[in-house]
């Protein structure tokens, strides 16, 4: 039925516009890559702590830039269900990662290199799931860039891998900032007369 | 369905069309609320292109008909008004779609 399809399209467009038009996901992913690359380059607690920056920027950006311009919306149960699936996948991934880390710390031979491969594969799966849940297929490409750089850094030339990682991160952040610029022009702040 | 009565001026009235829903601005508001659980004023203004005054006026009519529920709260010191399509409103939009389909399907193909 044409009308039903139109309403589905409207819902999809609404969700995509709300989630991706502001470029926040790209900024988040790009920063994640940059700080990850720095973590591979410099082995220090400070750099590890910097991993808080990407989610903080994302949350603050959504709250201070997106919501005042686009308003608030609570999506329907189907979308919320997809979100719950993603959270469950993230929790499962973290648990498996923790188990692997315990095994690596216990010094089981050969596990360290295998552990890296598993982490890389899991990251790619996670990115693909996020792309599906968020209906944002660019995330698969970002995941491939992240995992590609990571794999080169771990198994190939470390310097080339880290440089590729940094470059990819910078490109992704730039894409996000360009989207944000367009978003800010398209949606200036409106002051409601409430 | 029985044929619609002739009004005498050559026009055939369209039966079963809910005029409250049929108005384009209100139809846009209801369609946008239909696909989400709830949304605030800003969101609806963005999606429909209506001004604050226009949107308030249309929402008041929809609220009076029981088609939308308006929930006014405060988040800290800031007011936050969330609008939701009620079951009655959802049913009204479904019925409207069916009525329009019937009307359009009955048109002769050129």
Is residue A8 assigned to a domain?
Answer: no
Interface probe for B, chosen from A2, A22, A63, A73 (most Cβ of B below 10 Å), is A73
Is residue A25 assigned to a domain?
Answer: yes
For B17-26, the pLDDT digits (tens) are 888 899 999 9
For A35-50, the pLDDT digits (tens) are 888 887 777 777 778 8
> Rounded mean pLDDT of chain A?
81
Is residue A115 assigned to a domain?
Answer: yes
Contact A7 B79 (CB under 8 A): no
Is residue A51 assigned to a domain?
Answer: yes
Is residue A32 assigned to a domain?
Answer: yes
Query: Does residue B103 carry a pLDDT above 90?
Result: no
Is residue A92 assigned to a domain?
Answer: yes
Query: ipTM for the complex?
Result: 0.74
Query: Does residue B50 carry a pLDDT above 80?
Result: yes
Is residue A68 assigned to a domain?
Answer: no
Q: What is the pTM of this model?
A: 0.73
Is residue B65 helix, strand or coil? Answer: coil
**Ordered alpha helix ranges (H), chain A:** 2-20, 24-41, 45-49, 53-61, 67-70, 77-105, 111-134, 138-155, 158-186
What's the gap in Å between the CA of B84 and the closest CA on chain A? 10
Is residue A7 assigned to a domain?
Answer: no
CB contacts of A74 in chain B (<8 Å) are 36-39, 82
User: Which of A7, A14, A192 lies nearest to residue B42, judging by beta carbons?
Assistant: A192
Residue span of the structural domain in which A42 resides? 17-63+77-186
Nearest to A184 by CA among A61, A75, A26: A61
The total number of structural domains that make up chain A: 1
């Amino acid at each position: 039925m044409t009308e039903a399809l139109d309403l589905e399209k409207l819902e999809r467009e609404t969700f995509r516009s709300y989630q991706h038009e502001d470029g926040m996901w790209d900024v988040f992913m790009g920063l994640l890559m940059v700080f990850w690359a720095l973590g591979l380059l410099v082995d220090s607690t400070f750099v590890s702590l910097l991993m808080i920056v990407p989610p903080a920027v994302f949350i603050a950006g959504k709250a201070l830039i997106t919501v005042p311009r686009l308003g608030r919306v609570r999506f329907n149960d189907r979308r919320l269900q997809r979100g719950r699936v993603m959270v469950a996948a993230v929790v499962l991934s973290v648990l498996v990662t923790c188990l692997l880390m315990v095994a690596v710390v216990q010094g089981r031979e050969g596990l360290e290199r295998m552990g890296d491969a598993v982490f890389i594969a899991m990251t790619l799966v996670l990115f693909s799931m996020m792309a599906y849940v968020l209906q944002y297929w660019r995330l698969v490409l970002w995941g491939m860039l992240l995992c590609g750089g990571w794999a080169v850094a771990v198994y190939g030339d470390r310097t080339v891998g880290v440089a590729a990682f940094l470059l990819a991160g910078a490109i992704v952040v730039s894409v996000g900032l360009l989207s944000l610029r367009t978003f800010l022009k398209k949606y200036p702040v409106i002051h409601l007369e409430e | 369905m029985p044929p619609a009565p002739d009004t005498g001026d050559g026009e055939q009235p369209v039966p079963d069309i809910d005029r409250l829903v049929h108005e384009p601005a209100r139809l846009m508001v209801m369609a946008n609320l239909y696909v989400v659980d709830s949304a605030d004023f800003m969101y609806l203004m963005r999606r429909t292109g209506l001004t604050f005054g226009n949107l308030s006026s249309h929402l008041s009519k929809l609220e009076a008909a029981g088609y939308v529920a308006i929930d006014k709260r405060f988040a800290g010191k800031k007011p936050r008004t969330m609008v939701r399509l009620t079951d009655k409103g959802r049913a009204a939009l479904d019925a409207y779609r069916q009525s329009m389909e019937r009307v359009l399907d009955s048109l002769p193909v050129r």
